[in-house]
Structure 1
Amino acid sequence: MSDSAPPPESLLPYDRWTEEAMRNVALRALEFAAKNGLPGEHHFYLTFRTDHRDTKVPGHLKARYPQEMTIVLQHQFWDLTVDRGEQKVSVGLSFGGVAATLVIPFAALVAFWDPHVRVGLRFGDAVIPEAEAEQVPEPVEPESPPAPEEAPARGDAPAQVVSLDAFRRRPTKE
């Protein structure tokens, strides 16, 4: 038997199960924040597809971010809800002083990042180039409480990819 033989094709949908489990981690964090608020220094960056047919964002934001958008949930958000029945997240944010409610289908979520504890998850069938897989994005440190318009724009810029290996705790040697 050769070590170079390709692994057998799985008859079990491990990729789908892994994707669902990771998405559930992000949704549980959002549900916790919706019910209890954000504890300590935790805050979330949510990246989502604005071009998903069920995503609801104001027209001026969709024009500015025609494919992807990242929002920050930290100080200035309200009415965060996770509706598992309808498979969507909704949240109120202010953009340039104008209040808006965003509705984000679970399927439109691209990434979840909590920079306080360096936990990041990327969803979907994104191809992760080796060079990018090792990079961990640095969170934006605004001078005042962050407003959604200060969130990093995704638009046409190359996506930053978070490798789960960067977040695994390594055993300490004694």
Structure 2
Amino acid sequence: MSDRIEYGNLMHAAMRGLIRTVLSDVAADGLPGDHHFFITFDTTHPEAQMADWLRQRYPTEITVVLQHWYDHLSVDEDGFSVTLNFGDSPEPLYIPFDAIRTFVDPSVEFGLRFETQDSDEEEDEDDDGPEQPGPDANGGSAGPGEAQVVSLDKFRK
């Protein structure tokens, strides 16, 4: 047993559990109302699966959108798989929850951001807040990281 409570790790596990629950519900029932998700993930994660051409185009991270067209959404304990359309080319992806850097649902101004310790120092120097993934359906995005809670106010418009 550790001599301290690891609140950061517990919070990250809870946030990833929230994402797992939301995606499981969407896999079962579809996206309700105007909900849609911008998900940025680390393409270098050893368990992330994607086409070689996508990994070459997005060597560190990519932001994907689950909104109008997605297929075969399936969620397991460690991540989710989905087929998305990249320029009229359907491509299957597997995204481990540990690879997710940001999860945003702009329809309700909700967002989570995971950051590494290294990026905390960078943010102290340039603290303009997190960049919200843009509307590009399947393009790259900024936002280094692995785990940190960010105020939801920063995602409000």
Deviates more, 1:93-102 or 1:66-75: 93-102
Distance in 1 (CA, whole Å) between partners of 2:132 and 2:46 is: 28
Q: Which residue of 2 aligns with 1:122?
A: 113
| Secondary structure in structure 2 of the residue aligned to 1:15 | helix
**Unaligned stretches of 5+ residues in structure 2:** none
Take 1:136 and 1:51, find their aligned partners in 2: how far apart are those partners?
A: 20
CA change 1:95–1:152 in 2 (3 A) is closer
RMSD: 2.6
Amino acid at match of 2:107: H
Q: How many aligned positions are there?
A: 147
1:91 to 73, 82, 88: 82
TM-score, scaled to structure 1: 0.74
Show structure 1 runs of 4+ deviating over 6 A. Answer: none
Q: Give a deviation string over 1:44-97, Cα, whole Å, max 9, x none.
A: 01111111111110011000000101100001101111111xx12100112121
Task: Report how far residue 139 of structure 1 moved.
Answer: 4.5
Structure 1 or 2: larger helix share?
2
Are the counterparts in 2 of residues 51 and 67 from structure 1 also a CA contact under 8 Å?
yes
Of 151, 156, 159, the residue aligned with 2:138 is: 151
Larger Rg: 1
Runs (5+) with no aligned partner, structure 1? 1-9, 141-148, 170-174
Relative distance call for 1:58 and 1:138 in structure 2 (3 A) is closer
Q: Within 5 A, what are the aligned runs for 1:20-169?
A: 20-84=13-77, 87-125=78-116, 127-128=119-120, 129-130=123-124, 131-132=126-127, 134-135=129-130, 137=132, 139-140=134-135, 150-154=137-141, 158-159=142-143, 163-166=150-153
